[in-house]
């Protein structure tokens, strides 16, 4: 079950964190991976790790917020054959309320988290439809479903990801394209460690514990746990699922 042999998966922002875990997990299940990453060094490191484990992967430089960059990247990855899976993972975060968020901050969040999903989906869908179908998985957040303190711009962007997911699902179901999203609570990634180091010097462990306890289960998710859910949703075993948002939240939405 959950094998991806013979499938080609494009994963954006796969140089670290959740994207890297998804790329490695999919490769371990037999998929050929195209790592789309603005940070070329990070993208190359993910590819090296996949190849070192016996998998197949290539790194493609791509800024998902730039239409020309996305078009060039998808022309390159499609030249080697059909695109079976697109994981729109690339994203950035921001801390702030509506009154403390600058216009520049809002535009930055929008350009990556919203426009990036739009551009990559727009590039992939015609190719998937021509080939008879495919799967798109978007990385949303529990911020798509509930209000989070001090996360105005980020929540705005992830709410858009959720509604784009459902729009793509209904628009392209007849073309054999499924589209879902996952909605994680806090995930322990290098971004979290960097945020704590920069924002709470000397108090990193204290604040890490506080952020962990936000999830009733008592900890943050690991990237590999999100990758396991992504694997299911992108596998043939999930062929009856489309247009859905899957929380992976340690109980946040229940309690």
Q: Annotated catalytic sites, by residue?
A: 154
How far is Cα 2 from Cα 104, in angstroms, rounded to an integer? 42
In DSSP notation, 67-112 reads HHHHHHHHHHHHTTS---EEEE-------B-TTT--HHHHHHHIII
List the beta strands (DSSP E) in 13-67.
Answer: 32-37, 56-61
Strands 56-61 and 32-37: parallel
Neighbour tally for 98: CB within 10 Å: 9
Q: DSSP character for 87?
A: E
């Amino acid at each position: 079950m959950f094998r991806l042999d013979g499938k080609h998966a494009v994963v954006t922002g796969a140089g670290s964190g959740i994207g890297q875990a998804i790329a490695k997990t999919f490769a371990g299940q037999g998929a050929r991976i195209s790592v789309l990453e603005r940070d070329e060094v990070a993208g190359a490191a993910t590819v090296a790790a996949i190849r070192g484990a016996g998998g197949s992967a290539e790194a493609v430089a791509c800024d998902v917020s730039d239409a020309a960059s996305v078009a060039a990247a998808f022309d390159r990855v499609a030249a080697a054959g059909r695109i079976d899976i697109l994981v729109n993972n690339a994203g950035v975060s921001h801390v702030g309320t509506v009154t403390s968020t600058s216009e520049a901050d809002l535009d930055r969040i929008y350009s990556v988290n919203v426009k990036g999903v739009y551009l990559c989906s727009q590039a992939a869908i015609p190719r998937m439809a021509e080939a008879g179908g495919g799967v798109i998985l978007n990385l949303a957040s529990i911020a798509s479903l509930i209000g989070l303190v001090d996360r105005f711009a980020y929540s705005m962007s992830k709410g858009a990801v959720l509604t784009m997911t459902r729009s793509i699902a209904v628009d392209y179901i007849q073309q054999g394209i499924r589209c879902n999203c996952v909605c994680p609570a806090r995930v322990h990634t290098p971004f979290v460690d960097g945020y704590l180091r920069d924002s709470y010097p000397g108090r990193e462990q204290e604040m890490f514990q506080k952020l962990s306890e936000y999830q009733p289960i008592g900890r943050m998710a690991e990237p590999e746990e999100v990758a396991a859910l992504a694997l299911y949703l992108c596998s043939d075993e999930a062929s009856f699922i489309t247009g859905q948002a899957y929380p992976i939240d340690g109980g946040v939405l229940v309690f």
